[in-house]
Amino acid sequence: MATLNLGSSIPVPSIKELLSQPLAAVPLRYLRDVSGDYPTAAASPATLHFRNMYDQLIGHEVCDESLKDMHKKSQEFFELSSEDKKRYAQKPGSLEGYGQAFVISEDQKLEWCDMIFLKAIPVHTRTLEFWPQEQPQNFREALHAYSHDMRKTAVSIIGFIAMALGLDSKEFREAFEGGSYDVRMNCYPPCPEPERVIGITSHADISGITLLTDCGDIPGLQVLKDGQWVFVEPITNAIVVNIGIIMEVVSNGVYKAPYHRAAVNRHKDRFSIVTFCYPTKEFDIKPAKELISSDSLALYKSFTNEEYFQSFYERTKLSDDGVPFIDTLKI
């Protein structure tokens, strides 16, 4: 796939930096009407069909130690000094590294979240200059192991999803076995006015599926269910499985990519680790042919892998029309 020009994410202060000074009030750039934080058209309660797309997986094959190790390393990273973290700051033209995603204008509202985003699999796509080294000790080893654990989990879930849809499970497993895995570690520091800011604004993931682990027991993740934001209560060592837009398209809408967001709290840091799981670049993003017939027409357009991502990034850079990305994929 050709390299996409993602433009630059404009550097903004980290939340931890903001909080290192006494904060008289939350700066205006973070304040918003959180109750109105819905995507427009697609999320009207009438058109939402929540089908348990945000399930928590327990009894998975990933050992608790591996999860705990990565949680610890991620937390230690955010606890480094600003100077140390900035060694891994995002650079123009890349979304990888430490910072905030998709800050494209000086007046854009900001999220109450510090994050580091890293491509982890395939191994040759890693940009090691953004991978913390020395401190936290063994961060790279932990992320290597964690991302492979997430791939194993994703492949097995995708196999079950394909089976449930009556599709070729082997083909799907192979597509995700050879696919890409991007990891985003989030830190949501406490906020004096949590009800007036948002950790991550409402969105549906563009992945095939997303696997999220909470590094503690502090609720923050919310999913839109019947027009209401509902907290997904963390369960120790569970993996939250979220359907992404790719699987919504491939399943021709049988599975829906749910809108979700992250709320913040007044008292404690919350940490989460999110793995976005994608199929191989050869995998087209289109309703599976087995699901299409004269009685069941395709509801989504067909894209090559490259067209799909191009269209997402173009919209992110250029468009502020409030139309959710998924709606632009529908026929």
- Does 269 engage in binding with Fe ion (CB under 5 A)? no
Closest CB to Fe ion belongs to which residue?
Answer: 205
In sign, the C-alpha dihedral spanning 26, 204, 303, 180 is: positive
- The nearer residue to Fe ion, 205 or 214, going by C-beta atoms, is 205
- Does 262 engage in binding with ligand AKG (CB under 6 A)? yes
The interface mask with ligand AKG, positions 142-181, x = CB under 6 A, is ----------------------------------------
- The nearer residue to ligand AKG, 202 or 251, going by C-beta atoms, is 202
- Does 214 engage in binding with Fe ion (CB under 5 A)? no
* Partner whose footprint covers residue 220, from Fe ion, ligand AKG, none (CB < 5 to 8 Å by kind): ligand AKG
- The nearer residue to ligand AKG, 165 or 263, going by C-beta atoms, is 263
**Minimum separation from the CB atom of position 132 to ligand AKG (A):** 19
Strands 228-231 and 221-225: antiparallel
Of residues 111, 114, 149, 205, which one binds Fe ion by CB under 5 A? 205
In one-letter notation, the amino acid at residue 139 is: F
**Minimum separation from the CB atom of position 240 to Fe ion (A):** 10
Task: Name the one residue in this structure whose structure tokens are 């837009």.
Answer: 245
- Does 74 engage in binding with ligand AKG (CB under 6 A)? no
Which candidate, 50, 46, 1, places its Cα nearest to that of 259? 50
* Partner whose footprint covers residue 62, from Fe ion, ligand AKG, none (CB < 5 to 8 Å by kind): none
DSSP strands (E only) in the chain: 54-57, 97-99, 114-121, 180-188, 200-203, 209-214, 221-225, 228-231, 239-243, 260-262, 270-278
Of residues 85, 151, 184, 225, which one binds ligand AKG by CB under 6 A? 184
Tokens for 267?
Answer: 């008292």
- Does 260 engage in binding with ligand AKG (CB under 6 A)? yes
d(CA 8, CA 237) in angstroms, rounded, equals 35
d(CA 221, CA 199) in angstroms, rounded, equals 9
- The nearer residue to ligand AKG, 118 or 274, going by C-beta atoms, is 274
CA angle 189/271/192 to nearest 5° reads 20
**Minimum separation from the CB atom of position 315 to ligand AKG (A):** 16
Which candidate, 111, 173, 175, 184, places its Cα nearest to that of 146? 184
How many residues make contact with Fe ion (CB under 5 A)? 1
- The nearer residue to ligand AKG, 151 or 184, going by C-beta atoms, is 184
The radius of gyration of the chain from alpha carbons, rounded to an integer in Å, stands at: 19
Report how far Cα 121 is from the mean position of its chain's Cα atoms.
15
Q: DSSP characters for 116-156?
A: EEEEEESGGG--GGGS--SSSTTHHHHHHHHHHHHHHHHHH
**Minimum separation from the CB atom of position 135 to Fe ion (A):** 28
Of residues 149, 182, 205, 269, which one binds ligand AKG by CB under 6 A? 205
- Residue numbers at the binding site for ligand AKG (CB under 6 A): 184, 186, 200, 205, 220-221, 260, 262, 272, 274
